[in-house]
Amino acid sequence: MIRRHGPWTRITHWLWAVCLFFLLLSGLQIFDAHPALYLGQQSGMAQGFDNAVLRIGTEGGQGAAPLRGVTQVFGHDLDTTGVLGLSGPKDARQPRAFPGWATIPSGQDLATGRVVHFFFAWALVGTLAVWAVASGLNGHLRRDILPGRRDLRGLGADIRAHLGGPLPHGRRYSPLQKLAYFIVLAGLFPLMILTGLTMSPGMDAAWPWLLDLFGGRQTARSLHFLGMALIVAFFVVHIVMVLAAGPLNEMRSILTGRYRIRSQPDATEEE
Amino acid sequence: MNRRTLLRLGAGTLATLPLAGCKTFDFLSTPDDPARGVLMSANRLTEEVQSLLQGRDALARTYTEADIRQPMRPNGSTHPQAADYIALRKGGFAEYRLTLGGAVSTPLSLSLADLRQMPQQTQITRHDCVEGWSCIAKWQGVRLSHLLDQAGVKPSARYAVFHCFDALTTGLSGPQYYYESIDLRSARHPQTILAWSMNGAPLPVANGAPLRLRVERQLGYKMAKYVKSITLVPDLAGIRGGKGGYWEDRGYEWYAGV
């Protein structure tokens, strides 16, 4: 049994869990107010000017053609009836981009979605700041997050190990683990914060470089959506890995800090 | 318990989580809910931080003629039904008078011709709707600060309130006319204009004829269309729903810089 996670790592972990939960569901609520994504400064909504990369809506409904949910990605139509575009019970389908079970509040309510989103956006920024300072001071950042040369060298072996079945419960984070957390914390979180700010006309006046950095407000909005999808993907992998590694041990370590490792401490321990 | 059982248990728990549904948080839609009040306080923080980062006169991005690639998308009211508006519209807005009053030394009453004779400002800017879309258009009109200087703003004034001809809904007390408010910092911003022209032509009815507000550092709902009168006030509490605007009274944030 070792002490795996420091108190700040554990506290910020759960703050993030709460923030991301509310940010995701309120974000989908906001998206539903105009369920289309574009590239550039503005949204092409007129004849002859279409710069949309994603559109979620409904089609049909007249005559014999039944109403169906359609998701258009880069011009390709996908039938997503039941989930995207048209959802709800079979006999009472509702036209809605993301369904009610995926949004806060469950009904269409942009105002409340925004109130929730911006509160938890501030909370996320605060958590990130606390985490960065604490992790810098207690060594978590250097030890567990920043991938070093040794991690990059061990990456191939680690990928093979992950594909190959049961993983050793080492004292240290594995190279893939480090890389995953590094990408989320140093890549995706800053991307989400900056693209979020680029959607704000007030911030675009204060920091005009935001618009140039992302190639326009609408591109920033699309990147914000893409970043969301990547964070959701990270979450899914994160949960799968927790389940694969033994959920009780993992859960204990992120609640109390105590973590059981197999046999001897990591043989490759250096420091 | 082996790993397979655990996996199955964990997956089962996770699968039911979303089904518990987000109706759980629907209470946040209630206007007076205390939790909503707490969440909404973040809007003040956003306003303070943005105004600090902006300084007073930081400008919104301006674009070129080539960036005007589509007609300005009309939103909200597009065809006001009030009798006084219809009469003005039928007369080509020749009888229209913008009044500016409240906490000023000299109330103003201005025709469109008066406004056109004042110093003009043209700007090609991006209109950001609260829904998420953006549209670039060219706006011409008179700086609001010019009118404020002519009227002489009294020290007690803190907000400019815009009363409009259009009503999006009708309540028990009759039509719910659109209104909006901005603070004097926004009112005096160099890009804040009352526009009577859009993309080189008189403002169309769908876009707010005869006169609309442009507040370029905030979202579209602050930019009242069909402006009838402007009142300078010390606070917003006594006006209509008390939140400072039609949409604010319906749950939207007063500060719309985000």
One domain for residues A118 and A143: yes
Amino acid letter at A265? P
Task: Name the residue in chain A with its Cα closest to that of B258.
Answer: A200
A141 CA to centre of own chain: 20
Q: Which of B10, B134, B219 sits opposite A43 (nearest CB)?
A: B134
Q: Hey, of B4, B133, B136, B192, which one would you mutate to test binding to chain A, going by the most A CBs within 10 A of its CB? A: B133
Q: Which of B131, B250, B258 sits opposite A200 (nearest CB)?
A: B258
Q: Is the peptide bond before B204 cis (omega within 30 degrees of 0)?
A: no
Q: Which of A104, A221, A248 sits opposite B132 (nearest CB)?
A: A221
Percent of chain A with pLDDT over 90: 78
Question: What ipTM is given for this predicted complex?
Answer: 0.91
- Neighboring chain B residues of A100 at a CB cutoff of 8 Å: 21-23
One domain for residues A91 and A212: no
Alpha carbon distance A48, A245 (integer Å): 53
One domain for residues A57 and A136: no
pLDDT computed for residue B10 by the predictor: 53
Q: Which of B28, B39, B54 sits opposite A202 (nearest CB)?
A: B54
Classified as helix, coil or strand, B177 is strand
Whether A76 is in a domain gets the answer yes
Tokens of B133: 């879309």
pLDDT computed for residue A194 by the predictor: 98
Q: Which of A42, A122, A203 sits opposite B126 (nearest CB)?
A: A42
Query: How many CA atoms does the CB half-sphere of A95 hold within 13 Å?
Result: 13
CA-nearest of A119, A25, A230, A54 to B258 is: A119
Tokens of A130: 């606390």
- Asked if B219's CB is within 8 angstroms of A107's CB, the reply is no
Alpha carbon distance B67, B53 (integer Å): 27
One domain for residues A114 and A228: yes
Say if residues B78 and B209 touch (Cβ distance below 8 Å).
Answer: no
Alpha carbon distance B53, A202 (integer Å): 9
Q: Is the peptide bond before B210 cis (omega within 30 degrees of 0)?
A: yes
CA-nearest of B29, B225, B226 to B129 is: B225
pLDDT computed for residue B1 by the predictor: 46
Say if residues B254 and B248 touch (Cβ distance below 8 Å).
Answer: yes
For domain B60-250, which architecture applies? Alpha-Beta Complex (3.90)
Alpha carbon distance A105, A114 (integer Å): 10
- Asked if A102's CB is within 8 angstroms of B21's CB, the reply is no
- Asked if B218's CB is within 8 angstroms of A201's CB, the reply is yes
Tokens of A258: 């105590």
Alpha carbon distance B96, B228 (integer Å): 8
What are the tens digits of pLDDT across the range B57-110?
Answer: 899 999 999 999 999 999 999 999 999 999 999 999 999 999 999 999 999 999
Asked whether residue B35 carries a pLDDT value surpassing 80, the answer given is: yes
One domain for residues A59 and A186: no
One domain for residues A76 and A134: no
A31: closest CA of chain B, how far (Å): 7
Amino acid letter at B212? R
Give the range of the structural domain holding residue A235, as residue numbers without chain letter. 2-35+108-259
Tokens of B87: 């009469």
pLDDT computed for residue A268 by the predictor: 44
Listed by start position, the domains of chain B span 60-250
One domain for residues A125 and A168: yes
**CB contact burial A35-61 (16+ within 10 A = b; e otherwise):** bbbbbbbbbbbeeeeebbbbbbebbee
Whether A45 is in a domain gets the answer no
One domain for residues A163 and A218: yes
Percent of chain B with pLDDT over 70: 91
Alpha carbon distance A81, A47 (integer Å): 27
Rg of chain B over all Cα atoms, to the nearest angstrom: 22
Q: What is the DSSP string of A150-181?
A: HHHHTHHHHHHHHHTSPPP--SSPPHHHHHHH
B112: closest CA of chain A, how far (Å): 29
Task: Name the residue in chain A with its Cα closest to that of B16.
Answer: A101
Kindly indicate the confidence band of residue B173, based on its pLDDT and cuts at 50, 70 and 90. Answer: confident
Asked whether residue B20 carries a pLDDT value surpassing 50, the answer given is: no
Q: What is the DSSP string of B3-33?
A: HHHHHHHHHHHHHHHHHH-GGGGGGGGSTT-
**B37 C-beta neighbours (distance < 10 Å), count:** 11
What are the tens digits of pLDDT across the range A46-80?
Answer: 989 999 999 999 998 888 788 999 999 999 999 99
Percent of chain A with pLDDT over 70: 96
Alpha carbon distance A188, A182 (integer Å): 9
- Asked if B6's CB is within 8 angstroms of A247's CB, the reply is yes
Whether A40 is in a domain gets the answer no
CA-nearest of A163, A129, A132 to A146 is: A132
Task: Name the residue in chain A with its Cα closest to that of B73.
Answer: A45
Kindly indicate the confidence band of residue A263, based on its pLDDT and cuts at 50, 70 and 90. Answer: low
Asked whether residue A166 carries a pLDDT value surpassing 90, the answer given is: no
Alpha carbon distance B41, B35 (integer Å): 10
Tokens of B152: 């002489």
- Asked if A203's CB is within 8 angstroms of B36's CB, the reply is no
One domain for residues A24 and A121: yes
- List strand residue ranges (DSSP E) for B154-209, in order: 159-171, 174-183, 193-198, 201-202
Asked whether residue A119 carries a pLDDT value surpassing 60, the answer given is: yes
Alpha carbon distance B209, B192 (integer Å): 17
- Asked if A34's CB is within 8 angstroms of B131's CB, the reply is yes
- Asked if A42's CB is within 8 angstroms of B61's CB, the reply is no
One domain for residues A196 and A93: no
Whether A270 is in a domain gets the answer no
- List strand residue ranges (DSSP E) for A60-163, in order: 68-73, 76-79, 85-87, 94-96
One domain for residues A19 and A139: yes
One domain for residues A174 and A235: yes
Whether A102 is in a domain gets the answer no
- Neighboring chain A residues of B216 at a CB cutoff of 8 Å: 201, 205
Tokens of B106: 């000299």
CATH number for A121: 1.20.950.20
pLDDT computed for residue B181 by the predictor: 98
pLDDT computed for residue A4 by the predictor: 86
Q: Which of A36, A43, A118 sits opposite B42 (nearest CB)?
A: A118
- Asked if B46's CB is within 8 angstroms of A118's CB, the reply is yes
The mean pLDDT value of chain A amounts to: 92
Whether A21 is in a domain gets the answer yes
